[in-house]
Amino acid sequence: MKTIYMDNNATTRVDPAVFEEMRPYFCDLYGNPSSMHRFGGQVGVRLREARARVAALLRCEPDEIIFTSCGSESDNTAIRSALSAQPDKRHIVTTRVEHPAILSLCKFLEKKEGYDVTYLGTDERGRIDLDEYRDAIRNDTAIVSVMWANNETGNIYPVEKMAVIARERGTVFHTDAVQAVGKIAIDLATTPIDMLSLSGHKLHAPKGVGALFVRKRLPFRPFLIGGHQESSRRAGTENTTGIIALGKACELAMTHMDEENTSVKTLRNRLENGLLERIPDAIVNGDRGNRLPNTTNISFGYVEGEAILLMMDQMGICASSGSACTSGSLEPSHVLRAMGVPFTFAHGSIRFSLSRFNTGAEVDSVLDTLPTIIENLRKLSPFSADKSAPACTKAFSE
Ligand SMILES: *Cc1c(COP(=O)(O)O)cnc(C)c1O
């Protein structure tokens, strides 16, 4: 059975051209770029090239890029740096819909280290109110962190506008752009965004490499202390193969950007519209007019997302659900909860996230398969006879 992979917001296939680029640096050109000899030096040259390639995609300076191990490390580094560089500022502004790499860190800082955090809510389409945002920034706000695009719904946030407001208030602005990089145009030359996180494995580079953009002259405190790698901003011998791969993936992202926004978007729309036509009681979650081109998050009423995933898995179709089964109770995603998606729909949410490696035949196959799966599950569903909300509303009590 062929796998139909529609879970690209979780991770992506390494592009074969990226793999070829990194391959020589495992067994043949394995020098340490910090070494004095030419054997290491030739790797250093490739790291400089990779830095320039990442910078070209983001439209920033190469020395504003720090390579890290992942998006989570970049996010943690950004927030920790802003806090330790401004010890008298003890307030953070973020949103309820961030990735756990930001959200769990903020909860930790609140509970264990006594910081004050404002979590901005959203409307039913997942949008943030800019007036509420402006009012949330205080004189003691050390950093604002708002994602560029949401991993679950694909919603795009107005981070350029938000960065201008933060700059006016003298507050550092960080964006988690892990889902945005490679899918939509980013131009750091025309926005006052101070820091930006990205991750290799979300744009067809391998897992275990990321980057953090830190604007020139922004006070910075390293997270990992040790050797002088990355201009003393991130210690640890460089993940040379991963960095070379990330550079190549960024170069490819520039050439494929139009494709993301035309053919990938067309496939996504065909999938989304096809499912809505074929399946009753299905709704799209998020801001349909302002989303990533590859993502659709659809709730199928009166069924469990995890049941749908299991049935799809048997047909070789990979996607994600917005609910996580913890301690026997299915908790709907924090993103859908922030949007106030009704209980009977929040549980049945499925995220399909496509890439340039998906085909029209794969979309057809999902359109052929999923309606039957949903129909069969609804026959079994305890909700289906009486289509009203079940008694349990615990999930929304938080
Ligand atoms: C995947 C993801 C991350 C985490 O990146 P890792 O490289 O897996 O640590 C952070 N933020 C968003 C929005 C993501 O989608």
The domain ranges of the chain are 4-10+257-397, 16-253
Torsion of CA 241, 243, 249, 254, to 10 degrees: -150
pLDDT at 124: 97
Closest CA to 366 of 265, 262, 274: 274
CATH architecture of 16-253: 3-Layer(aba) Sandwich (3.40)
* Closest CA to ligand 1's atom 6: 71
* Closest CA to ligand 1's atom 14: 178
* Closest CA to ligand 1's atom 3: 71
Q: Output the CA 12–ligand 1 centroid distance in Å.
A: 12
Give bridge partners of residue 144 from the DSSP assignment.
93, 173
Q: Output the CA 101–ligand 1 centroid distance in Å.
A: 7
Determine the atom of ligand 1 nearest the C-alpha atom of 201: 7
**SS3 labels along 248-284:** HHHHHHHHHHHHHHHHHHHHHHHHHHHHHHHCCCEEE
- Is 325 catalytic? The answer is yes
Half-sphere exposure of 276 (CA within 13 A, CB side): 12
Torsion of CA 319, 322, 324, 330, to 10 degrees: -130
pLDDT at 397: 33
Which of 96, 105, 179, 199 gets mutated to test ligand 1 (max ligand atoms within 8 A of its CB)? 199
Gap between the Cα atoms of 381 and 357, Å rounded = 35
Q: How big is the chain by its Cα radius of gyration, in Å?
A: 22
Non-local CB neighbours of 228 within 8 Å, separated by 6+ positions: 34, 235
Which of 155, 202, 207 gets mutated to test ligand 1 (max ligand atoms within 8 A of its CB)? 202
Determine the atom of ligand 1 nearest the C-alpha atom of 72: 9
- CATH number (3.30.9.10, 3.90.1150.10, 3.40.50.620, 3.40.50.2300) of 4-10+257-397 reads 3.90.1150.10
Q: Output the CA 230–ligand 1 centroid distance in Å.
A: 21
Gap between the Cα atoms of 25 and 241, Å rounded = 6
Non-local CB neighbours of 154 within 8 Å, separated by 6+ positions: 9, 179, 286, 291, 292, 294, 295, 296, 297, 353
pLDDT at 381: 74
pLDDT at 384: 56
Q: Which residue has the tokens 């993936």?
A: 249
pLDDT at 398: 32
pLDDT in tens, the chain (398 residues): 899 999 999 999 999 999 999 999 999 999 999 999 999 999 999 999 999 999 999 999 999 999 999 999 999 999 999 999 999 999 999 999 999 999 999 999 999 999 999 999 999 999 999 999 999 999 999 999 999 999 999 999 999 999 999 999 999 999 999 999 999 999 999 999 999 999 999 999 999 999 999 999 999 999 999 999 999 999 999 999 999 999 999 999 999 999 988 999 999 999 999 999 999 999 999 999 999 999 999 999 999 999 999 999 999 999 998 766 555 566 789 999 999 999 889 999 999 999 999 999 999 999 999 999 999 999 987 665 455 544 333 333 33
Q: Output the CA 186–ligand 1 centroid distance in Å.
A: 17
pLDDT at 322: 73
Pocket lining for ligand 1, CB < 6 angstroms: 70-72, 99, 101, 147, 151, 176, 178-179, 199, 201-202, 210
Token digits of residue 277 = 């036509």
Closest CA to 169 of 106, 110, 113, 89: 89
Q: Output the CA 46–ligand 1 centroid distance in Å.
A: 25
Topology match between the domains 4-10+257-397 and 16-253: no
C-beta neighbour count of 138 within 10 angstroms: 15
The number of residues in the chain equals 398
Beta strands (DSSP E) in the chain are: 4-5, 65-68, 91-95, 116-120, 141-145, 172-176, 195-199, 210-214, 282-284, 295-300, 317-318, 320-321, 323-326, 329-332, 349-353
pTM above 0.85, yes or no: yes
Q: Phi/psi at 151 (nearest 5 deg)?
A: -70, -25
